[in-house]
Amino acid sequence: MTTGEHPAIVAFDGSDESAAAVREAVRLFGDRRLVVVSVWEPGLAFAMSPAYDPTGMGYPMPTGEEVAMLDSVERDHATATAEAGARIAEKAGAHADAYPVPDRVRVADTVAALAQEMKACAIVVGTRGRGAMRSKLLGSTSAELLRCAPCPVVVVRTERD
């Protein structure tokens, strides 16, 4: 491992904001190993499938094989996303590992738990800057990380047009 035994974790979802977070993590923690985390949600693919009907009245339930296939697609997407984030870090000169991880409850809880397990020195996350009202309605991963993370959290804002 490079300087510093505890890695910095970067939450990466492929957005411009999360790419800015990767670049800032390299600037701040480039002497450490960066762990680029992309969270995938098991079962989300099932909930988003056209066959999902919460009333149970109109659509047949997907088979276990179909659910497993859709979850595999989600996992593969998270893997590719984490690898893309790690490539951004490596091009900027840092040592980075891609780390796709299944969601435990909420993305912030998953990232915070991973930081605890890895004894991370910090978590770096981008923010979309949705504003107070939209964040209350949609939730804010960065705001939740500020509340629940076991280590310092760096929230990276980007310029908005």
Q: Domain map of the chain by residue range?
A: 8-37+83-157
Buried b (16+ CB within 10 A) or exposed e, 115-128: beebebbbbbbbbb
Q: Which residues pair with 154 in a beta bridge?
A: 124
The pLDDT score that the predictor gives to residue 60 is 65
Q: Is the pTM of this model over 0.95?
A: no
Query: How is residue 99 annotated by DSSP?
Result: E
Q: Which residues pair with 24 in a beta bridge?
A: none
Q: Which residues in the chain show pLDDT less than 70?
A: 1-4, 43-62, 129-139, 160-161
How many other CB atoms sit within 10 Å of the CB of residue 57?
6
* Residues counted in the chain: 161
Q: Are 81 and 68 contacting, i.e. CB atoms less than 8 angstroms apart?
A: no
CATH of domain 8-37+83-157: 3.40.50.620
Query: How is residue 62 annotated by DSSP?
Result: P
The pLDDT score that the predictor gives to residue 105 is 82
